[in-house]
Amino acid sequence: INLGSLAHNLNYYRSKLKPETKLMVMVKAFGYGSGAHEVASLLEFNKVDYLAVAYTDEGVALRKAGISLPIMVMNAEASSLPMMIRHKLEPEIYSMRTLNAFVRALEFAGITQPYPIHIKLDTGMHRLGFEADQLMELLAKLTILPQIKIASVFTHLAATDEPAHDAFTQKQLDEFESICKQMKKTLKQNFLMHALN
């Protein structure tokens, strides 16, 4: 792996973004086999804002290697939640079941200060995430959870690489922005928003 090329590519894409746009970089599957610690260290040195991994053990390995960036974990399995909390990893929350399990884990760990989570919305991918008709239940629950802080809300776009489906992609983005606006208004919280395929 040419780390110089990786840094060059990172900075090339960063140059295409508005200065206020943050960067979350996937380093799941232990950096896709390319050395998660080395890649994450380079990303941290180059001041990306977030890392994301698939599983808790990947995030734990990065913490043990000295990585201090915020790390989102995409698969927040109930059995791994105590370890996630211990290593200050941030879970993707995509259902009431995962939210309730995480709240129980926070209570068990004695955490009372707001802990960052990432809410996934399903705007059309139909894999994981809260759907629009679940929004009121989600907001009602979040309103009574002072130990939860929303770090970000995101969605997974289904077909952005297929121009024939641009109208569907725009529909997903419109729904995503509408839901986020409602969440910010109801919860009186600001949070990051991200959507990609």
Pairing mode, strands 148-156 and 71-73: unpaired
Residues in contact with 147: Cβ distance below 8 Å, sequence separation at least 6, in sequence order: 103, 106, 107, 111, 112, 113, 114, 115
Helix (H, G, I), strand (E, B) or coil at 33: coil
pLDDT number for residue 107:
96
Percent of the chain with pLDDT strictly greater than 70: 98
Q: What residues are paired with 194 via a beta bridge?
A: 154
DSSP assignment of 72-99 equals EES---GGGHHHHHHTT-EEEE-SHHHH
Residue pLDDT, tens place only, 152-194: 999 999 998 899 999 999 999 999 999 999 999 999 999 999 9
CA dihedral 135, 138, 140, 141 (to 10 degrees): 180
Residue pLDDT, tens place only, 34-66: 778 889 999 999 999 999 999 999 999 999 999
Instruction: List the structure tokens of 7.
Output: 């840094």
Instruction: Kindly state the DSSP code that residue 164 receives in the 8-state scheme.
Output: G
Q: What residues are paired with 149 via a beta bridge?
A: 116
pLDDT number for residue 31:
61
Instruction: Kindly state the DSSP code that residue 13 receives in the 8-state scheme.
Output: H
Instruction: List the structure tokens of 52.
Output: 């994301």
pLDDT band per the 50, 70, 90 thresholds, residue 30:
low
Residue 16 has pLDDT above 80, yes or no: yes
- Contact assessment for residue 152 and residue 191, using Cβ atoms and an 8 Å cutoff: yes
pLDDT number for residue 49:
97
Neighbours of 141 (CB within 10 A): 14
Q: Is the dihedral of CA 127, 132, 137, 143 positive or negative?
A: positive
Compute the average pLDDT of residues 109-138.
95
pLDDT number for residue 197:
78
pTM for the model:
0.93
